[in-house]
Chain A
Amino acid sequence: MNVASTLVQEAAAGDQQAFMILLEPLLPAAHRLAVGMLRSESDAEDAVQEAAYKAWRHFGRFRRGSDLRPWLLTIVANECRHQRRSRWWSVVRSSEAPDELVDGTSSVDPATMDLRRALYGLPHDQRLVLILRYYLDLTHEEVAVTLGISTKAAKSRIYRALERLRLSPEVLPDE
């Protein structure tokens, strides 16, 4: 049994330190996903914190031997969706200030601004595949595992989302 398996076993048995050891390397990706989905650093931190809490609470459901990263990213994505639904005012705020930048810079060319508006106008599922694929650099297989769909379906969803953004891709590579 390797170290990761031991940690998973200990975390499943209620060892919080073991869980944190498993979780900490994944937090940057989780944070990046949340930022990409929510476009707000503070909301992203809240989402990651809440997702981590839920992951800990339901760690018993994590299948041993499977990859922890897509499992956690799924929870983070769900938490982002939940936050956007529950905080209706954040939707209002987003529509009122669509050009707010995550990194605080303000000099953005009009094309980028248009793309940003289009990206955040996409439905949650389509925005999620693009963020996972191009912002987190996940492979098509990893995107598929995170979304719980087939690789083919993940590719198709990415393609449709890109088309909606008028970023007509060349033929998607099979990696």
Chain B
Amino acid sequence: MNEAQIRERLRRAVGEPNYPAYLPSRVQARLSHSAPDVSPQASPRLSWLGGVARTLSVAAALLIVLLIAAIVLGVHVWLPNMRHSQPAGPGVHPSAAPSVAAAPTPTAYTPPSPVPLRNFSGTGSSTTAGWDTAGRWELIWSYDCANLRHAGSFRVVVYDETMKIVDPDVPPLSVSGKVGSGSQQFNTSSLYHLVVTTQCAWHVIVAYD
């Protein structure tokens, strides 16, 4: 097949369009709503600068986005730290609040954990075995009345070996509700045991403070 035959066949396949006489005016109308770019022939540097300007504007937009993200992130990290580092007592001047630069690392303060001495748990009322202490100690308690499907009560009384209530300054623990937990500190040394009165599941830890 020669070139002329190929041409003829392809033209037949595509068809012959009619050139629309209105196309120039349509193009003209489209152009009249625009302005050309600056000519690099007249000023090659301007075109180059245009490219640089476009790149810079994109970079600037990216920087702004990063800055906003950093601010948002910073607020999220900084605010909780501020709450933790609020001055606790009087006499602390507000200016003593740590600055952003001097802000402590966001590791939370962890008090020295008590050393467990006894571990008691059960469901319903109970009297625990005794134990001996020498110094400050702590009663860490929790209860859960999920088995009752309603609120219950939880009462713990600490007795010494003579069946006296231990520390008169510390009232016996008596709470109610569906679930609860807490702790009490004691300063006396003796041989103790607990009397737990409840309908719920409970857990008590006796620990050196």
Contacts and interface: CB of A to CB of B under 8 A. Distances in A.
Given A61-B47, A170-B2, A36 B14 contact: yes
Contacts of A168: 1
Contacts of A145: none
Given A16-B31, A20-B24, A28-B19, A131 B39 contact: no
B129 interface: no
Interface residues of B, number: 35
A61 B9 CA distance: 37
A105 B26 contact: no
Interface residues of A, number: 55
A63 B36 CA distance: 15
A23 B27 contact: yes
B27 A59 contact: no
Given A24-B24, A60-B37, A169 B6 contact: yes
B93 interface: no
Contacts of A64: 41
Contacts of A56: 31, 34, 36
A57 B37 CA distance: 5
Contacts of B42: 12-13, 60
Nearest to A63: B41
B38 interface: yes
Given A35-B17, A134-B6, A53 B37 contact: no
A59 B36 CA distance: 7
B11 interface: yes
Contacts of B16: 102-103
Interface of A: 9, 11-14, 16, 19-20, 23-24, 27-28, 31-32, 35-36, 39, 41, 44-45, 48-50, 52-53, 56-64, 101-103, 105, 108, 112, 115-116, 119, 130-131, 134-135, 137, 162, 167-170, 172-173
